[in-house]
Each structure stands twice: as structure tokens, then as C-alpha cells.
Amino acid sequence: MIERLAIEGSPNGSVAADEATSLVAEERRRGRGALSNATGRYECEVRQEFDDGWQSLADLEALRTEVKDEPARTIITRNDSPDISFDRSINPYHGCEHGCIYCYARPTHCYLGHSAGLDFETKLYAKPDAAALLEKELAHPRYEPATIALGTNTDPYQPIERQRRITRSILEVLERTGHPVGIVTKSVLVVRDLDILSRMAERGLAKVALSVTTLDRRLARAMEPRAAAPEKRLDAVRRLAEAGVPTGVMVAPIVPGLNDWEIERILEAADAAGATRAGYVTLRLPLEIKDLFREWLATACPDRAARVLKLVQSMHGGRDYTSEFGIRQRGSGPYAVQIAARFRLALKRLGMDEERHELRTDLFRRPVAPGGQLQLF
């Protein structure tokens, strides 16, 4: 049975939702990352499943992926964050079926009235008009080109891209207009678009980074249940590099006490596959993620849970998370300094700290808006 509980005296459901959180039966969430589905923090009612004595929970079906079209009005998202190297990005999808338990994008699903838990992995939104919107925005007379990042919030090559092909349609527009693009993904589906990416890379317009969290297949399956296996991602790195696409690896997130011992091994494997650059981000636990990750950690790695959380907090002044720029992605304190030093030394030893891939903007040709005038030169 599912019961609705009204929340009194609060504009959102954050407190009551926490109290009402319960784990979803394993049979229903098999192949998913999150263990629960607490009501989003902006809702004024809480939904909670419980057994009413008639074993009715056993009749509930396994969670399935649902995809709805989102009628977006714009497609390029702007930011002025000093923590990242780009000021604009495109997200073809909301929610992500990969189900990475640590995903920092999970709390954004609450803006849509959903849970950051299982809803984030099963209730997805696609933007079918993305390519048309992009062409319209690029045609604006005041638009100035700079690298557009794909994969900043949710993965542009998650499983539904196989049928939707929205990411590919975006790349077609960018290639046609000579606009630079940078991609971050966990999916080997990126090699499907090697034809476009290799042509763009030849003109200095494209680069790709594969996110590799761990080389341990079992740990990867637990943390990132529907993402590609680690060796498949490294194979994608190899294929991209062989096709002439500047390719790097993101070791992200580094979870202290869980996968931080793999830093050097991942970088060595990335170097052997042809990656020429690498970066990292440490685990971030804002908002709902701190509870979702604790649930997962207690179930998947109970023997290491206390140590992992203690180390994470040591990097954030005793708290689960620090949102300050300059700290939120790397942490601070002795353990954070140690991770940074190890990463830097490994890059230097492998020669991966020397090459930079600056993409060109001088090849941009503004598309003609419907009813607009063609350029004379």
C-alpha cells in the first residue's frame, strides 16, 4: 500500500520525507543504483510504501524506465562557476538511467517534482527539439562561440540515446556550424559518433573524456549499475584516440577509503589506452545524495562505511559537504592534499600533464535563422 502523508508547517517535504524514507524491495529495484525513493524536498506531501498486513508490496511491479518529452524553450545553459572550465553546456536529457549512486545531478530531479533516488534513474525526460533550438540560438546575431560542454549534468550517451539520437543531432549542428564541443561520458555509445567526432577533431573542434571511477568490475557494477564496464570505457578511449580525437579520462569521483587506492592504476590504464590528459573530482554529498550514499554504503560496503564517511568529512571540515567554490570538488585538509599530490605526480610520471587541447572558435559560421538573410562572405 502507498500512503500520502501531508506535511504541516513546512513549505517543502525535506524533514518529513527523511523520516518517511524506507528502502524499496530489492526485487523492484534490481539493476538500479539508489535503494530508496524519498519524496522530493519541494513537495508538500510525502508518499511512503508500507505493508498493510496483506502482503500487498509483493504485488508491485519492478521499476521500469519511463521517458517523457520535454518541450524546452532554450537549450544552451550558461554558468559563471570558477570551478569549471566552460561557461555553457547542453543537457539533452533530465535524469540518467546509468544510476550512479554518487551522481551530483540527482538533487536537480526534485525541481521536476520527483525523487532524487529511484525516480532520477527511472523517470527520464528527453528534449527532442534540442538540435532545432541549438541552431536557433547559434543564429542569434549576438552569439559569440566558445566550447559547448555535453555531459555536465546527466550523460548525453545514456542508454535511451540509442533510440532518441538527440546527442547525435546536436553534434550534426555543431559540425555544420564549425562550433567547438567537449564531451564527458561513461558510455561506449560515444564511438557510434566517431564519424562526426573524427571530422570535427581534425579541424580542432572536438575533444572527449571518459569517466573511469574504478577498474574493479564488481565495484563499478554496484556504484554505476547501468554504465559501461571499466574495460569497455578504456576500449572507447583507445578507439577515439586511434581516430584522432583528443581523449582524456576523468577519475571521478574519487571516494576516499573506497577507490582512492586506484588512482595510479586508472591513470596508467588510461595512458596505455591513448588518453593524453586526465582530471579528477572527489566525492560530493550535497542535499539528498548524502542519505542515498549512506544507504548504499551501508548495504554494499558495510565493512568500510564508517571509514569512508570519516575520511569524506575530514575533507570538508567535519561535515558531509562544503559548497564553497574551490573546495566543493576537491575538498581540503591533509587527505585532500595527499590525493592532489598523488594525482599530480602520476600525471607527471606518465607525461599526461603536458598536452592541452584548446579548441578553435575561428571556424564558427553562424547558421541562418528561418527567414533570415544569407551572409555575403
Q: What share of the chain is helix, strand, coil (3-state, %, to 5)?
A: 35, 15, 50
Residue 340, domain extent: 2-51+67-350
Is there a domain that residue 360 lies in? Answer: no
**Strand ranges across the sheet with 123-126:** 66-69, 123-126, 93-94
Q: What are phi and psi of 103, to 5 degrees?
A: -55, 125
**Is 62 within a domain?**
no
Q: Alpha-carbon distance 129 to 117, whole Å? A: 27
Q: pLDDT tens digits, the chain, 377 residues: what are they? A: 444 444 443 444 444 444 445 888 888 898 999 999 998 888 887 777 665 555 555 556 788 999 999 988 999 999 888 778 889 999 999 999 999 999 999 999 999 999 999 999 999 999 999 999 999 999 999 999 999 999 888 999 999 999 999 999 999 999 999 999 999 999 999 999 999 999 999 999 999 999 999 999 999 999 999 999 999 999 999 999 999 999 999 999 999 999 999 999 999 999 999 999 999 999 999 999 999 999 999 999 999 999 999 999 999 999 999 888 888 889 999 999 999 999 999 999 999 876 678 899 999 999 987 655 555 55
Residue 170 lies in a domain: yes
How much is the pLDDT for 3?
44
Residue 357 confidence (pLDDT): 80
Q: Pairing relation of β-strands 88-90 and 77-78?
A: antiparallel
Cell of 223: 556504484
**Domains in the chain, number:** 1
pTM for this predicted structure: 0.89
**Under a CB-based contact definition with an 8 Å cutoff, are residues 278 and 352 in contact?**
yes
Question: Between vectors from CA 14 to CA 10 and to CA 20, what angle results, nearest 5°?
Answer: 110
Is there a domain that residue 45 lies in? yes
CB neighbours (10 Å) of residue 341? Answer: 10
In a domain, 364, yes or no: no
**Beta strands at 77-78 and 123-126: parallel, antiparallel or unpaired:** unpaired
> CATH number for the domain including 259?
3.80.30.30
Beta carbons within 8 Å of 207's beta carbon, 6+ residues apart: 181, 182, 183, 201, 245, 246, 247, 248, 357, 359
Q: For residue 52, what pLDDT is reported? A: 59
Residue 248's DSSP bridge partners are 209, 277
Radius of gyration of the chain (CA): 22
CA 359 to CA 202: how far, in whole Å? 11
Q: Within a 10 A sphere around the Cβ of 305, how many other Cβ atoms?
A: 18
Q: Is the peptide bond before 253 cis (omega within 30 degrees of 0)?
A: yes
User: How far is Cα 180 from Cα 127, in angstroms, rounded to an integer?
Assistant: 21
> Could you count the other beta carbons within 10 Å of the beta carbon of residue 60?
14
Question: Count of residues for the chain?
Answer: 377
- Phi–psi pair at 266, nearest 5 degrees: -65, -45
Give the pLDDT score at 41: 87
Residue 374 domain flag:
no
In a domain, 270, yes or no: yes
* Residue 204 region by backbone torsions, left for phi larger than 0, else alpha for psi between -120 and 50, else beta: left
The answer as to whether 363 is a domain residue is no
> What's the CA gap between 174 and 169, in Å, rounded?
9
